[in-house]
Amino acid sequence: MKFEITARDPSTRARAGLLHTAHGVIETPAFMPVGTSASVKGMTQDDLERLGVQVLLANTYHLYLRPGHETVLAAGGLHRFMAWPHPILTDSGGFQVMSLKGLSRVTEDGVEFRSHLDGSSHFLSPERAVEIQWALGADIIMALDECVEYPSSFETTRRATQLTGRWARRAKEHYQRARDSGFGGRDSENAGPPSGVERSQQEASPRTPDPEPRIPALFGIVQGGIDRALRRESAEQILDNGFEGYALGGLSVGEPKGETFDVTEYTAELLPWDRPRYLMGVGTPSDLVECVARGVDLFDCVMPTRNARNACVFTCEGRLAIKSARYARDEAPLDPACRCPVCRRYSRAYLRHLFQAGEMLAAILATQHNLHFYLDTMWKIRQAVVSGDFVSLLRRVRTGSSKVSHT
Amino acid sequence: MKFEITARDPSTRARAGLLHTAHGVIETPAFMPVGTSASVKGMTQDDLERLGVQVLLANTYHLYLRPGHETVLAAGGLHRFMAWPHPILTDSGGFQVMSLKGLSRVTEDGVEFRSHLDGSSHFLSPERAVEIQWALGADIIMALDECVEYPSSFETTRRATQLTGRWARRAKEHYQRARDSGFGGRDSENAGPPSGVERSQQEASPRTPDPEPRIPALFGIVQGGIDRALRRESAEQILDNGFEGYALGGLSVGEPKGETFDVTEYTAELLPWDRPRYLMGVGTPSDLVECVARGVDLFDCVMPTRNARNACVFTCEGRLAIKSARYARDEAPLDPACRCPVCRRYSRAYLRHLFQAGEMLAAILATQHNLHFYLDTMWKIRQAVVSGDFVSLLRRVRTGSSKVSHT
């Protein structure tokens, strides 16, 4: 996986680049819509392509439980299974496993957990997380980490951060073993799905065959809560393994926004400048601008899609709670400044009606619009970095005069 | 509204034609997808256009209750409200009102009913049904009728059929008064939405302005259950009013399929050959072929959309219950013979997974596929009538060797 930095803002840490993966190039800074169970809720893959989505995030925990990574592997990997021939990143599954209150237990070895679907028992270790993601076949896979909630005691945070460090080493070692000798599925020695599957695929439809299976890139995750010393210690432990990219974990978990920004800036500074930096689970449109200014290249967040389903849409004048009676006869589009397919065609009154009537189309259209808003924000950021106008964009966001300011 | 018959099959009653409406031409025989609350569940209007949908049906009962016909009128009518600039037919609301068991009461005047949403009391008469549909602004509107369930006694059927006849006269007279003097909204004397609404619409977006509001076409409905004498009596009463098109109501309500076909054939024969015939609520793909052979031009049915949401998809080899475990690793498309956007891109395994995971995309893709299957069936029927191959298509359907045979 090659990462090219193509432009740097002279007065902030913002940079624009190209992340080359086996399934295509991602222009950074990039926002990754979340496709939890191999689907971005309410969107077809055609819709995502029309919106200009370049990379998706899928959740290993959900796919491991259903349909199972073996089933995905048998289908030729996640790209072919979900008919998305573009880049995919999978998380390690750890965040969701450990969010299962009362259903998970962390030990040095890994995490014992029970399925939220059927209560069955499972075990996730750093090695197992690599194996499952390898079978899923994403372009970028993540090392297993332990993310603590905010607030947590120093002791709790230190324990989790150090465990994350030891797990990162085990993940990297296991990944290296897979590269060297393979453990089934999509490595260089045992490439692709069984030939029977391949054949039926070709007979069945003109869908583009998957490119030759490639070795995924493994990213490490820096933890440490909001404690600078722990962040530094964590960065040192993680960097020691030489990952292909680095994620900032444990942020946007309840801490004040100022801490999110400060810890992001502090941590990003500790990471090699020539490797992509991924801030996990962040954030609002203005958070994206603020964190690009602090050196972040990749983001994911459920906010645009989840808010859409809850009738909350992003506009240049702030968020609209579109179910409000005030929009019952409002003929304007969701956002008069927006050129997305939803704003070109439909009125607020119609969207409001669809939510009131419980129509699926409500969530579909609101999701299309919100994703467009996020992708458009990233596009504006990239353009501003390239053209040297990023500081001006940042100022407009901070003073509330930019499209992304009120969000 | 002009109806041109462009081709007639020499050995059946099948015909192909063009139904010219204010919002465009409908090629007949045509299938109308059902957009109950001004949305075909799970489909965007862009999706419907891409599928080649030429006309939608919307339900007056649902739109009257929510958002209310006055709200739709204020938005410039249903076409503009739902951003569908193509033909729309509305039902009278009667069928759904009278399906509200224990919540409705039929009198000579009309139907008293309670809303299924909030229990509020309402009254629907033949005059009121015309007024509400006039406000909604559909291209084709329906006279209020009383449809009885199957089986019903001769006495019940006769009473409902005769009431339908008297209501048809009142509907036509009220419609004529509206044409002559207008009762607000979309007639020739009080055309279009208030100018303020018009202006904000134009400022807000580049959506195509609605064409000049036109007078809708009013269709009458023939009832009579499966009793031929009552069907004949009903046809005479309805025809006496000179409607622009004629519907066959009270079929597909539980009677044996043979009766559906026989009564359709018998009733269609009683109708003027130069006016469109609409068979309400029918049916399966093979029903469409059988009833075109008996002289029907228009159909509507929730089957393709509702079945899709219940994981039942139509294919050339019959219906698939796509949630079945047998499809968990099936890489074939839903229907190997289908060229729809879903079959071109996605596998049965993925669709099965989406249904298992409760993803919205499951219903979206299954609906796209099923609607394509229905529209493709209608296209094949029209081509066959035009090319003189309709009898051959009908034979293939009956012997089970046609795409639409097993459904």
Residue in B205, B208, B322, B352 to test binding to A, most A beta-carbons within 10 Å = B205
**Which of the following is catalytic: B91, B139, B297, B376?**
B91
ipTM of the complex: 0.93
Task: Answer yes or no: do A360 and B356 touch at CB < 8 A.
Answer: no
Amino acid A213: pLDDT: 60
Q: How many residues does chain A have?
A: 407
Distance separating alpha carbons of residues B341 and B330, to the nearest angstrom: 18
Q: Predicted confidence band at B374 (pLDDT cuts at 50, 70, 90)?
A: very high
Token pair, residue A284, equals 């609002």
Token pair, residue B46, equals 């862009």
pLDDT digits (tens, 9 = 90+) for A283-312: 999 999 999 999 999 999 999 999 999 999
Amino acid B337: pLDDT: 96
Question: Nearest CB to B83: which of A44, A350, A360?
Answer: A350
A120-A123-A124 Cα angle (round to 5): 130
Amino acid A101: pLDDT: 82
> What residue of B is the nearest CA neighbor of A331?
B201
Task: Answer yes or no: do A345 and B46 touch at CB < 8 A.
Answer: yes
**Predicted confidence (pLDDT) at residue A257 exceeds the cutoff of 80:** yes
B390-399 vs B360-387: helix crossing angle, rounded to 10: 130
Distance separating alpha carbons of residues B344 and A208, to the nearest angstrom: 10
Token pair, residue B78, equals 């249903």
pLDDT digits (tens, 9 = 90+) for B322-347: 999 999 999 999 999 999 999 999 99
Q: How far is B27 from chain A (nearest CA, A)?
A: 25
- Report whether B374 contacts B289 (CB < 8 A): no
**Predicted confidence (pLDDT) at residue B360 exceeds the cutoff of 50:** yes
Task: Answer yes or no: do B62 and A357 touch at CB < 8 A.
Answer: yes
Contacts of residue A365 in chain B, CB cutoff 8 Å?
44
Amino acid A288: pLDDT: 98
Helix/strand/coil (H/E/C) assignment for every residue in A305-354: HHHHHCCEEEECCEEEECCCHHHCCCCCCCCCCCCCHHHHHCCHHHHHHH
Which pairs with CB-CB distance under 8 Å and at least 24 residues apart come from B288-291? Answer: B288/B29, B288/B31, B288/B374, B288/B377, B288/B378, B288/B381, B288/B404, B289/B377, B289/B381, B289/B393, B289/B394, B289/B397, B289/B404, B290/B261, B290/B394, B290/B397, B291/B260, B291/B261, B291/B264
Question: Nearest CB to B347: which of A75, A332, A353?
Answer: A75
Amino acid A162: pLDDT: 98
**Predicted confidence (pLDDT) at residue B254 exceeds the cutoff of 70:** yes
Strands A111-114 and A104-106: antiparallel
E strands in B193-292: 217-222, 245-248, 277-279
A149 φ, ψ (degrees, to nearest 5): -75, 170
Mean pLDDT, residues B301-317 taken together: 97
B300 is catalytic: yes
Amino acid A389: pLDDT: 97
Contacts of residue B360 in chain A, CB cutoff 8 Å?
39, 41-42, 360, 363-364
The sign one gets for the Cα dihedral A392, A394, A398, A402 is positive
pLDDT digits (tens, 9 = 90+) for A187-245: 433 333 333 333 333 333 444 555 456 899 999 999 999 999 999 999 999 999 999 99
**Predicted confidence (pLDDT) at residue B402 exceeds the cutoff of 90:** no
pLDDT digits (tens, 9 = 90+) for B166-180: 999 999 999 999 999
Torsion angle (degrees, nearest 10) of CA B216, B130, B117, B151: -100
Q: Predicted confidence band at A176 (pLDDT cuts at 50, 70, 90)?
A: very high
Task: Answer yes or no: do B207 and A345 touch at CB < 8 A.
Answer: yes
Mean pLDDT, residues A274-283 taken together: 98
Distance separating alpha carbons of residues A297 and A302, to the nearest angstrom: 17
Task: Report the largest interatomic distance among the alpha carbons of chain A, rounded to a whole angstrom.
Answer: 64
Task: Answer yes or no: do B365 and A44 touch at CB < 8 A.
Answer: yes
Amino acid B25: pLDDT: 98
Distance separating alpha carbons of residues B207 and B138, to the nearest angstrom: 19
Q: What percent of chain B has pLDDT over 70?
A: 91
Amino acid A316: pLDDT: 93
Amino acid B101: pLDDT: 82
Q: Read out DSSP for B69-128?
A: HHHHHHTTSHHHHTT--S-EEE--SHHHHHTSTTTEEE-SS-EEEE-TTT--EEEE-HHH
Token pair, residue B332, equals 């074939």
Contacts of residue B344 in chain A, CB cutoff 8 Å?
205-207
B375 φ, ψ (degrees, to nearest 5): -65, -35
Task: Give A31: exposed, middle or buried? Use CB within 10 Å, 0-12, 13-18, 19+.
Answer: buried
**Predicted confidence (pLDDT) at residue A386 exceeds the cutoff of 60:** yes
Amino acid B100: pLDDT: 87
A144-A40-A281 Cα angle (round to 5): 40
How far apart, in Å, are the Cα atoms of A66 and each of A123, B195, B348? 16, 54, 15
Residue A35 DSSP code: -
pLDDT digits (tens, 9 = 90+) for A357-377: 999 999 999 999 999 999 999
Q: Which residues pair with B15 in a beta bridge?
A: B8
Residues whose CB falls within 8 Å of the CB of residue B135, separated by 6 or more in sequence, listed in order: B69, B70, B72, B73, B77, B184, B185, B186
Token pair, residue B128, equals 């009121």
Q: What percent of chain A has pLDDT over 90?
A: 88
Task: Answer yes or no: do A81 and B336 touch at CB < 8 A.
Answer: no
**Predicted confidence (pLDDT) at residue A27 exceeds the cutoff of 90:** yes
- Report whether B169 contacts B106 (CB < 8 A): no
Contacts of residue B338 in chain A, CB cutoff 8 Å?
none
Q: Predicted confidence band at B184 (pLDDT cuts at 50, 70, 90)?
A: low
Task: Answer yes or no: do A350 and B82 touch at CB < 8 A.
Answer: yes
Token pair, residue A243, equals 């990952």
Residues of A labelled as active-site residues: 91, 300
Amino acid B214: pLDDT: 80
Distance separating alpha carbons of residues B63 and A118, to the nearest angstrom: 41
Among B131, B136, B287, B130, residue whose Cα is nearest residue B219: B130
Amino acid B195: pLDDT: 36
Mean pLDDT, residues A76-101 taken together: 95
**Predicted confidence (pLDDT) at residue A121 exceeds the cutoff of 80:** yes
> What residue of B is the nearest CA neighbor of A362?
B42
Mean pLDDT, residues B51-78 taken together: 98
Amino acid B403: pLDDT: 59
Among A38, A393, A357, residue whose Cα is nearest residue B35: A357
Question: Nearest CB to B39: which of A37, A201, A361?
Answer: A361
Question: Nearest CB to A41: which of B75, B336, B360?
Answer: B360
More confident residue, A275 or A185: A275
B352 φ, ψ (degrees, to nearest 5): -60, -45
B210-B244-B161 Cα angle (round to 5): 120
Token pair, residue A105, equals 């237990």
Task: Answer yes or no: do A45 and B336 touch at CB < 8 A.
Answer: no
Task: Answer yes or no: do A46 and B345 touch at CB < 8 A.
Answer: yes
Amino acid B391: pLDDT: 98
**Predicted confidence (pLDDT) at residue A75 exceeds the cutoff of 90:** yes
- Report whether B138 contacts B35 (CB < 8 A): no
Amino acid A173: pLDDT: 98
Strand, helix or coil at B369?
Answer: helix
Amino acid B183: pLDDT: 67
Q: Which of A19-33, B78-92, B234-248, B389-403 has the lowest mean pLDDT?
A: B389-403
Among B161, B177, B197, B178, residue whose Cα is nearest residue B81: B197
pTM for this predicted structure? 0.93
Distance separating alpha carbons of residues B395 and B374, to the nearest angstrom: 19
Task: Answer yes or no: do B205 and A336 touch at CB < 8 A.
Answer: yes
**H or E segment at A161?**
helix A154-181
Residue in A48, A353, A355, A372 to test binding to B, most B beta-carbons within 10 Å = A353
Distance separating alpha carbons of residues A193 and A190, to the nearest angstrom: 9
Mean pLDDT, residues A88-105 taken together: 92
pLDDT digits (tens, 9 = 90+) for B186-228: 443 333 333 333 333 333 344 555 545 689 999 999 999 999 9
Conformation bin of residue B318: beta by default, left when phi > 0, alpha when psi is -120 to 50: left
Q: Predicted confidence band at A404 (pLDDT cuts at 50, 70, 90)?
A: low
Task: Answer yes or no: do B331 and A42 touch at CB < 8 A.
Answer: no
pLDDT digits (tens, 9 = 90+) for B261-274: 999 999 999 999 99
Contacts of residue B369 in chain A, CB cutoff 8 Å?
none
Question: Nearest CB to B205: which of A343, A352, A364?
Answer: A343
Question: Amino acid letter at A22?
Answer: A
Amino acid A182: pLDDT: 72
How far apart, in Å, are the Cα atoms of B72 and each of A38, B67, B145, B192? 38, 7, 24, 12
Q: How far is A97 from chain B (nearest CA, A)?
A: 18
Residue B34 DSSP code: B
Strand, helix or coil at A133?
Answer: helix
**Which of the following is catalytic: B210, B300, B335, B376?**
B300
Residue in B64, B201, B361 to test binding to A, most A beta-carbons within 10 Å = B361
